[in-house]
Amino acid sequence: MDTLRATLGEGAVATGPDAARWSNDWTGQHEWTPLCVARPADTAGVASVLAAAREAGVAVVPVSGNTGLAGGTVAEGAVMLSLDRMNRVRDINAKARTATVEAGVILSHLHEATAPHGLTFPISFGAKGSAMLGGMLSTNAGGSGVLRHGNTRDLVLGLEAVLPDGRVLDAMTALHKDNSGLDLRHLLIGAEGTLGVITAAVVKLAPLPLARATAMVAVRDLDAGLALLNRLQAASGGAVEACEYMDRTFMRAHAAHFPDAARPFIDDHDVTILIELASTAPRDATPGLDGQVPLAGHLETVLGEMLEQGLMRDAVVAQSEAQRGAMWQRREAAAEVITTRKPVVITDIAVPLDGVATFLDCMAARLLRIDGGAVPVAVAHLGDGNIHYAVWPSDAALKDAITEAVEDEVLALRGSFSAEHGIGTAKLDSMRRRKDPVALDVMRAIKAALDPDDLLNPGKLIPPR
């Protein structure tokens, strides 16, 4: 610690009570006591921390906003490396639609910085007010915009990272094409800080929409939900930005947790969809003679057709930004609502788009056999097949059996047991059971080559042999 204080400055190393806010995760399921928390202000400082830790043989655990759900920042007896002071938006290039951003920049702050340029970083989720870019890159975060813009990985052009031995990898280009060897950006993105510490990135920006059309829609079933998505994509020329599913249990749990929140419908429904269209084209945003914005017209036309065909039960179209915000608050509160009950099994899975209903039906039958008193609750990014499937079991001793049943049903559909939250420590057993053995061997070989002493975020992502 004396070496770190001498290098970073006295106020940049926290210990004891000063380190308390870095001693647990957002879920409250993990607590630890770090050796200290190092808070460098630049890339050179990060490099000095990793070099010193390697020389001393001490583990280092990187942390950004600490909003993860998979135990990826557990750091008992380790040096925590916080990127929170590396919080500059170094540059916004409006012509090229890129931003050069440090790892400690909070997502909502990036949105605020790019908005005056008529641009945005097109990723959003419930933790946007505290999640930082470094953590998003390390877990390849998703969110509600994946349907149109892709995961975080798809929005990164360049990357700067410090390797476990303290060397700095400079891949900070703004190139859309670069075929000069292995793509090391994609090796580090999603590696959860086990191969290097991402310190900055060049990210793609998208134009801010001129118009949005948002609705809560109760449909007959999930097949009707997919029909709604596909019809709106066709009618709007691919303008659907989000298609989010919430089941009846979630809607009731949200109403109980937020009793003052206005409910979208008088009755509860099995399938509620939050659908949003966005367009940057003036033709979609300019009101017609009737005063209606064309984008909203596309939405209302499709909703009317589905109502006539018996595919839709009810719908509420947002008439103001406040109403739109209330709709999104409901969806973005999912993690808070689901964790209000304990014990809880939280999974983050991906299946083909037409496999969402199959998975939920199969799990309903499977769950009855495992735990007749269990209560499943599901929300999903229906547009990309990512289901946040949770279960409130009647007995905590059944959590492992439920988790393995979820894995069985996911793999039967050729899906993934981890879609966007990462592996951390929470899914190590799933990795060991379900990941292709050859893939695990390759991961271990890469880890050993870059971090032979296993000092950078050890015990995460890759299960030991």
Query: Could you give the 3-state DSSP secondary structure of residue 109?
Result: helix
E-only strand ranges, 271-426: 271-279, 312-317, 345-346, 349-350, 375-381, 386-392
Residue pointed to by tokens 């050796």: 35
E-only strand ranges, 72-210: 79-82, 89-93, 98-102, 119-120, 156-162, 168-171, 197-204, 206-207
Instruction: Going residue by residue through the chain, which has 465 residues, state the pLDDT in tens, using 9 for 90 and above.
Output: 778 888 888 789 999 999 999 998 877 778 899 999 999 999 999 999 999 999 999 999 999 988 887 889 999 999 999 999 999 999 999 999 999 999 999 999 999 999 999 999 999 988 899 999 999 999 999 988 899 999 999 999 999 999 999 999 999 999 999 999 999 999 999 999 999 999 999 999 999 999 999 999 999 999 999 999 999 999 999 999 999 999 999 999 999 999 999 999 999 999 999 999 999 999 988 888 887 888 999 999 999 999 999 999 999 999 999 999 999 999 999 999 999 999 999 999 999 999 999 999 999 999 999 999 999 999 999 999 999 999 999 999 999 999 999 999 999 999 999 999 899 999 999 999 999 999 999 999 999 999 999 999 999 999 998
Distance in angstroms (rounded) separating the CA atoms of residues 203 and 150: 13
pTM: 0.93
Backbone dihedral angles phi then psi of residue 88, each to the nearest 5 degrees? -100, 140
SS3 content of the chain, % helix, strand, coil (to 5): 40, 20, 40
Residues in the chain: 465
Is the domain covering 89-207 a CATH 3.40.50.720 domain? Answer: no
Is the separation of the CB atoms in 46 and 162 below 8 Å? yes
Q: What's the CATH code, domain 335-424?
A: 3.30.70.2740
Closest CA to 334 of 151, 70, 72, 143: 143
Distance in angstroms (rounded) separating the CA atoms of residues 411 and 136: 26
The sign of the dihedral angle between the CA atoms of 25, 74, 19, 82 is negative
Closest CA to 240 of 283, 207, 209: 209
Both tokens assigned to 301: 């036309």
Closest CA to 72 of 435, 442, 441, 422: 422
Q: What's the CATH code, domain 211-318?
A: 3.30.70.2190
| Helices and strands (H, E) in the chain, number of each type | 16, 19
Looking at the domain covering 2-82, what would its CATH class be? alpha beta
Is the separation of the CB atoms in 347 and 406 below 8 Å? yes
Query: Could you give the 3-state DSSP secondary structure of residue 200?
Result: strand
Query: Could you give the 3-state DSSP secondary structure of residue 19?
Result: helix
Q: 211-318 with 335-424: one CATH topology?
A: yes
Which amino acid would we find at residue 66? N
Closest CA to 235 of 272, 277, 206: 277
Predicted pLDDT at 386: 96
Predicted pLDDT at 2: 75
| pLDDT, tens digit (0-9, with 9 covering 90-100), for 194-226 | 999 999 999 999 999 999 999 999 999 999 999
Query: Where in the chain are the domains?
Result: 2-82, 89-207, 211-318, 335-424
Predicted pLDDT at 140: 95
Query: Could you give the 3-state DSSP secondary structure of residue 164?
Result: coil
* DSSP conformational letter for 273: E
Distance in angstroms (rounded) separating the CA atoms of residues 198 and 194: 10
Both tokens assigned to 325: 């915000």
| pLDDT, tens digit (0-9, with 9 covering 90-100), for 87-100 | 999 999 999 999 99
Predicted pLDDT at 289: 80
Task: Return the bridge partners of 272, or none.
Answer: 218, 246
